[in-house]
Amino acid sequence: MNLIAAVDRNWAIGRAGRLLVSIPEDQRLFREETLGKVVVMGRKTLESLPGGQPLHGRTTIVLTKDQEYQVKGADICHSVEEVLDRLKGYRSEDIYIAGGQSIYEAFLPYCDTAHITYIDYAYTADTYFPDLDRDEEWQFLLAGEEQTYFDLCYEFRLYRRVKGRKERP
């Protein structure tokens, strides 16, 4: 399975329920990577999307503790195990874990690839992605060319798990 996220230099991903910054090229990459695939996210992440609705052209699975939660066009699950069960019908390479923090932490052990947009700036934040540079189970593989968006420098990075991945049930 894949993880996909935009992080700052402290591996922060958000503040007050919102992304730290919206970079058009990052959004384009997200769209290209996930179109026609399965995207797993938490309720708060879904509600932060335009109109609070699932993204067009993707199978959206939402993990929430709220037993009454419903949203048209999304598959709602209430535990990690339930999500993993729903994912059995999909190829691992077609699954993208898309946040937020608790979702990344819960599914990190099952993932083997991470697509990271690394933003060379430190924001004030309250949610974080696990720091893969400090995790011995993950290896930085490659980075795209450094790019800029106004005064922000960023690059697309690819990480691979080198040991310790849990198998999906």
Contact 36, 57 (CB under 8 A): yes
Identity of residue 116? I
- Whether 168 is covered by a domain: the verdict is no
What distance in Å separates the CA atoms of residue 148 and residue 20, rounded to the nearest whole number?
16
**What percentage of residues in the chain have a pLDDT greater than 70?**
99
Identity of residue 85? D
Q: Is the dihedral of CA 29, 110, 41, 138 positive or negative?
A: negative
Question: pLDDT tens, 14-26?
Answer: 999 999 999 999 9
Structure tokens at 83: 């999500």
In this prediction, residue 169 carries a pLDDT of: 64
In this prediction, residue 119 carries a pLDDT of: 98
Domain CATH for 46: 3.40.430.10
What is the overall mean pLDDT for the chain?
Answer: 96
Query: Quick check: helix, strand or coil at residue 77?
Result: strand
Structure tokens at 145: 């060319």
- Asked if omega into 100 is within 30° of 0 (cis), the reply is yes
Residue 84 has pLDDT above 80, yes or no: yes
Residue 3 has pLDDT above 70, yes or no: yes
- Whether 65 is covered by a domain: the verdict is yes
- Tally the domains of the chain: 1
Cβ neighbours around 145 below 10 Å, total: 6
Structure tokens at 65: 């503790």
**What percentage of residues in the chain have a pLDDT greater than 90?**
95
- Whether 166 is covered by a domain: the verdict is no
Structure tokens at 131: 């720091």
Contact 13, 6 (CB under 8 A): yes
Under 8 Å CB-to-CB from 18, ≥6 apart: which residues? 48
- Whether 116 is covered by a domain: the verdict is yes
Contact 26, 8 (CB under 8 A): no
In this prediction, residue 116 carries a pLDDT of: 98
What distance in Å separates the CA atoms of residue 110 and residue 69, rounded to the nearest whole number?
25
Average pLDDT over residues 72-89: 97
Structure tokens at 32: 């290209």
- Whether 169 is covered by a domain: the verdict is no
Q: Which domain holds residue 65?
A: 2-161
- Whether 83 is covered by a domain: the verdict is yes
Question: pLDDT tens, 144-159?
Answer: 999 999 999 999 999 9
